[in-house]
Structure 1
Amino acid sequence: MSFHWARVSILLLFLFSFGLAIPLFVGGFEVVSVLTTLPYWTTPLLFLVMLLAWNLNVLRLCVLLDGQFNNVGYWKIMRIYMATEFVSKTTPMGAGAPAAAVSLLAPHGVKPISCLVIFGVSACMDAIVLVCLIGFFAVERLTMTLGANLLTGISLVSVLMLTTIACTSLLLYRHKLLFYLLLRMPGFSLTGEKGKKNAGKLIVSLHRALKRIFELPRWRLLLSWGTCLLYWGLYLSTLYLCIWMLGGGVSWLESGFIQTIAMGIGHLLMIPGGVGGVEVTGTLLLEPKLGATTAATAILLWRFLMLYLYLVIGGVSMLSLGVGAISYGNEKRSNL
């Protein structure tokens, strides 16, 4: 088992080193000299933006959980969140994040089914916000390129946005119908009374967890939507801030569109952290506007915020939570 984890760690180290090497290959060692000439206040500003974004997501988590934690302080919740993000960045498409959240929250009284439902609701909220933002970016690009056919382009984007929002709302508010249809699918047929009984228990648990979220006070639901909007606003501003600090002339809409495309390509590649695809896509899209050196420097700085900072702080959080879990288990066994 230890040999397996050693091989995985070496592979991840190689991947992340490869991601760092791509901007240096494109921009040359001038990238390092550009980074050394940045004003001293740029680093605290970028860290402040990331800290604010993390706290917004933690606040949304606390609002949706609605007191399901047992004697857990805000600092512990922040460490759990960062450890979950660490797992998300080191697994393809962040597939390991739900399992990590379940295992880290279970010792504090959060049921696995509640954790998975909250993950699903948060993902649906993120999907709605992202689709609206992508539609906004697309309309802006269509305004510049289509001209007379602008109305047709805006109509297509609007239909796409409304369809996605309607499907997401159906998933949330008509989940019992979707569960019923899922169980009737040919590839999901259950045989035997035990299988049907277990599926029934799972559906009831999912329904109760979703109902608990929908029955939250209106101000809590509005607060969760507000934190989601603010988070994505900050998240899609990071590349713009990096370009602005380097003296680039790219607008927020353009940088947000480039950031969305690059992150989407990274997810489609199914490589941990989107390494390689994000750097190459971002550099190719920015190079015509900024030049090779500035584009590579901006991507390197942005990827440090969006990936490597998560790995450092999330890894430390994971280690601290692991040590705490071991000591907690030893103490519990000693009391038996």
Structure 2
Amino acid sequence: MSRAILLVIGLLAAVLIPWLLGGSETWSRLSGFPLSGLPVMFAMILLCWVLNTLRLRLLLGDQRTKVSPIKSLGVVMAAEFAYCATPGGSGGPLTIMALLGRNGVRPARSSAVFAMDQLSDLLFFLCALSAILIYALFQHLSQRMEWLLIVSAVSMFGGLISCVLVARYHRLLIRLSGRLLIRLNVQSTTRMRWARKLLSFLAAFTDTLKLPFQTLITVFGLTCLHWILRYSVLYLALHGLGADLQWAWSFLIQMLSLSAGQFSLLPGGAGAAELTSAALLAPMVGKSTAAAAILIWRAVTYYFYLLVGGPVFLLMLGRPLLMKLMKLKQA
């Protein structure tokens, strides 16, 4: 119940912040947006789901036969809904593991697939940020944009270094975590169970890394296509509103805004993402244009995920639970 209240508060904040920013001019800016652009944006999101489905099936390797293509698409849509509806997107990986587990995929394998998926995302953002940095060398940037690039570069490379350190010293981390659990008086049986799960995950992740090189390259290519499409929505919204902002800067603004939303631990970053994007975008295109663009952007990349992914989530996770309860009642 508390999570539902938090989601409602976040949704209200997500709508009110842009409206308060743009004031009475926001509606006039929205009314001037060509409606023909919305079907294109929604089609881009549908294509993103298809690309993620292909990526999921490639990462499953020989386990993909256990999950049909339609169910794989359902897993992706349900997981995207969970990302948007839970604090910090915490429900996304749990949804993936639960749905894959119901189709016979071991938890260690499903968690390894999720980890590989996140690693592919991180590599894409590093490549994209590096390209933006090279592009920025030939541009006259304001102090604000230089600051944004520096913060983005430091955070992304920091994340990559953290992943490398964890992979390199995972044995040491396991030993240190074991000592910590002993000091916290965690039972030996619980420690052993967690250790077995961690070792199973590491083995499954290693197997995923051993997929054919062509498969891994294809996964990365699908990742690039997915994020380029998804991060083009704000650019198209601004273009439809008549604003002249380069794609690279709209990409950077979305990356920072959604990162701030994740750190806020609000469902889907609702409120925090709007506030951050408004602060970054308003000085470049004006308050009313920024407010209208943010509303369109979030309608396509947030509310659409909730409206379409919600029924899929309930169908795949809610119906089996209901059937289980009915069986218990009959017994």
Do they fold alike, i.e. is TM over 0.5?
yes
Q: Which residue of 2 aligns with 1:278?
A: 273
Q: Which residue of 1 aligns with 2:220?
A: 225
Which AA in structure 2 matches 1:144? H
User: Matched residues in 1 for 2:10 and 2:160: separation?
Assistant: 36
Cα distance, 1:280 vs structure 2: 1.6
Could you tell me which of 137, 140, 143 is aligned with 1:144?
Answer: 140
- Residues 146, 258 of structure 1: CA spacing in aligned structure 2 closer, same or farther, 3 A cutoff? closer
Q: Which stretch shifts more, 209-218 or 245-254?
A: 209-218
Q: Which residue of 1 aligns with 2:170?
A: 178
Cα distance, 1:197 vs structure 2: 3.9
Q: Which residue of 2 aligns with 1:264?
A: 259
Q: Which residue of 2 aligns with 1:66?
A: 61
Equivalences, count: 322
User: Matched residues in 2 for 1:110 and 1:292: separation?
Assistant: 49
Cα distance, 1:81 vs structure 2: 1.3
Identity between Structure 1 and Structure 2 (%): 29
User: Matched residues in 2 for 1:157 and 1:290: separation?
Assistant: 21
Tell me, what secondary structure is at the counterpart of 2:163?
helix
Could you tell me which of 218, 221, 233 is aligned with 1:238?
Answer: 233
Is the 1:57–1:227 Cα contact (8 Å) retained in structure 2? yes
Is the 1:128–1:164 Cα contact (8 Å) retained in structure 2? no
Q: Which residue of 2 aligns with 1:130?
A: 125
User: Matched residues in 2 for 1:312 and 1:131: separation?
Assistant: 31
Per-residue CA deviation, residues 21-78 of structure 1 (Å, 9 max, x unaligned), is: 1111222343233333333321111011111222212211111012424553322221
TM-score (normalizing by structure 1): 0.83
Which AA in structure 2 matches 1:19? A
| 1:81 and 2:76 are equivalent in the alignment | yes
- Residues 161, 76 of structure 1: CA spacing in aligned structure 2 closer, same or farther, 3 A cutoff? closer
TM-score (normalizing by structure 2): 0.84
Q: Which stretch shifts more, 89-98 or 304-313?
A: 89-98
Q: Which residue of 1 aligns with 2:99?
A: 104
Which AA in structure 2 matches 1:212? D
Cα distance, 1:207 vs structure 2: 2.9
Which AA in structure 2 matches 1:97? G
User: Matched residues in 2 for 1:321 and 1:192: separation?
Assistant: 35
Q: Which residue of 1 aligns with 2:111?
A: 116
- Residues 164, 286 of structure 1: CA spacing in aligned structure 2 closer, same or farther, 3 A cutoff? closer
Which AA in structure 2 matches 1:28? G
Is the 1:138–1:157 Cα contact (8 Å) retained in structure 2? no
Per-residue CA deviation, residues 126-174 of structure 1 (Å, 9 max, x unaligned), is: 1222233234434544653499xx9xxx9999898767545535645x4
User: Matched residues in 2 for 1:274 and 1:327: separation?
Assistant: 30
Tell me, what secondary structure is at the counterpart of 1:66?
helix
Which AA in structure 2 matches 1:178? H
| 1:313 and 2:308 are equivalent in the alignment | yes
Which AA in structure 1 matches 2:220? W
